[in-house]
Chain A
Amino acid sequence: VPTTSSGESNDQIPVYLPRALCQRAQRFVGERFASVDAFVAHAVREMLAREEMKESTGLSEEEEQRVKARLRALGYLE
């Protein structure tokens, strides 16, 4: 029975990196990262999360007032 695995998707494409960078990354292949590919995927995901989180959705003034009114009615805001 497979357990809660974290296997990567098989749908992958090649990406070219400087050889020296790959060799540096190779040192960290082992218990945490199964391969340089896994190491690079981890790093890219971490960076993407930071960038994507900057794209927050704002509220219009009218929406904000409506939300605040409900929060006051429920006792969450004074």
Chain B
Amino acid sequence: MSENVTSSIPLVRRTLTGEAREAALARAKSLVQIEVGDDLAYDVSNITHGVFSPLRGFMTARDCSSVVQHMRLANDTAWTIPIILDVSESLARSLASGRTAVLVHQGKFVALLEIADVYPFDRQEIAAHVYGTLDTAHPGVARAMKMAPYLVGGDLMLLNEPEDPYQDYRLTPIETSLLFKEKGWRTVVGFQTRNIPHLGHEYLQKTALSFVDGIFINPLLGEKKVGDFKDEVVLRSYKTLIEHYYLRDRIVLSIFRTRMRYAGPREAVFHAIVRRNFGCTHFVVGRDHAGVGGYYAPYAAQEIFQHFPDLGIVPLFFSAFFHCRKCGGVVNEKTCPHDASMRVEFSGTRLRKALTEADGQADQLIRPEVATVVREWANPLIEIEEIDMEGAR
């Protein structure tokens, strides 16, 4: 893979600086205000910095409908997850197409929204198509069902970066692309994760890295379900792993600030598009990528890519991996001939056991330095529902 098989696409950049920004801030004082929570504020940042290129704003009815039903924007560009702004009925009444509103996050103007349309939507249609189920035990469905009844579509223009405790770990696509170039990387594999790194992840990352110039570890930090690891735990454990087990000039760690959708196959494609925008040429898709419970077939997140020849990034498909006591290391279904009794699976349950019990076989699952970091927390897992539905009301 010495050839750079893809290159950067035109990135959306919708940020204001200098006098134009000052004028927009002054104008914002007289506009209808839409308050947004953290999740929507980070999506505003993602849109305006090109993380979600080619999106220029929240989806209009036409794009949203096309994405939900066909997994493409109305102009046929591949896009699988609705990026939408929901508002209450009373707020929707004060908005109209052709007008401009200002988005407010934690009392600060974050962006101008040029309203293209305000429209009602069918929560069940989104749940059924995007998540493939109407079961409210699915965290994505549960969230969709709680959304406010109207959506507002339109282009955004960033005024201020939303407040973020992890700002120093966030890079824009312009920054990552330049960074990769400065490092001399022509091929870069992106790695999505919402978990702490175990030996299976490390095996997968290093296997992928052996075929390209560098690896972009891009943990998703944002709203997640109960039982997932807390953001701080994920970030600190990755920093520790990289410090002890990776070559510094072959790796970049930066976060992807958004919420997990748990949309399985569709989210795998969405994750790939985002990493393409960051400048990656390849993207790792493992077993049950972005899945939850048993809602998606184990390799559905890989099979879906056959419908998208136009992503501009090469997916790298990996089989399930596990520790084999007979092989004495991490292997996968394609490389290990031994039966299941020899396997130590990298399940969340086993990982938690390994971290909390003395004989939990931690050495077969996780690096000791990473285990030490995780054990600093009395509870490293999310214990209460993080869903922030107090945003655009």
Interface residues of A (CB under 8 A from B): 1-9, 32, 42-43, 45-46, 48-49, 52-57, 59, 63-64, 67-68, 70-71, 74, 76-77
B10/A55 in contact, CB under 8 A: yes
- Does B11 lie within 8 Å of A57, measured CB to CB? yes
**Within the assembled complex, what's the spacing in Å between the Cα atoms of A56 and B304?**
27
CA distance A9 to B132 in the complex (A): 19
* Measured CA separation A71–B178 after assembly (Å): 9
* Contacts beyond the supplied A4-B263, A45-B310, A63-B174: 19 A-B pairs with Cβ under 8 Å: A1-B133, A2-B129, A4-B132, A8-B70, A9-B69, A45-B78, A49-B310, A49-B312, A53-B7, A56-B10, A57-B8, A57-B10, A57-B11, A57-B13, A64-B178, A68-B182, A70-B175, A71-B171, A71-B182
Check A59–B312 contact: CB distance below 8 A.
Answer: no
Distance in Å from the Cβ of B176 to the closest Cβ of chain A? Answer: 9
* B266 on the A face (CB < 8 A): yes
B residues neighboring A (CB under 8 Å): 6-11, 13, 66, 69-72, 76, 78, 128-134, 168, 171, 174-175, 178-179, 182, 252, 263-266, 300, 304, 306-307, 309-312
16 pairs, A vs B, C-beta closer than 8 Å:
A4-B130, A4-B264, A4-B300, A5-B71, A5-B129, A6-B304, A9-B66, A9-B70, A9-B76, A32-B306, A53-B6, A53-B312, A57-B10, A67-B174, A68-B182, A76-B252
Interfacial chain A residues near B66, Cβ < 8 Å: 9
CA gap between A46 and B133 in the complex, in Å = 30
Which of B129, B174, B309 has the most chain A CB within a 10 Å cutoff? B309
Q: Is the CB of A67 within 8 A of B69?
A: no
Minimal beta-carbon separation of B308 from chain A (angstroms): 8
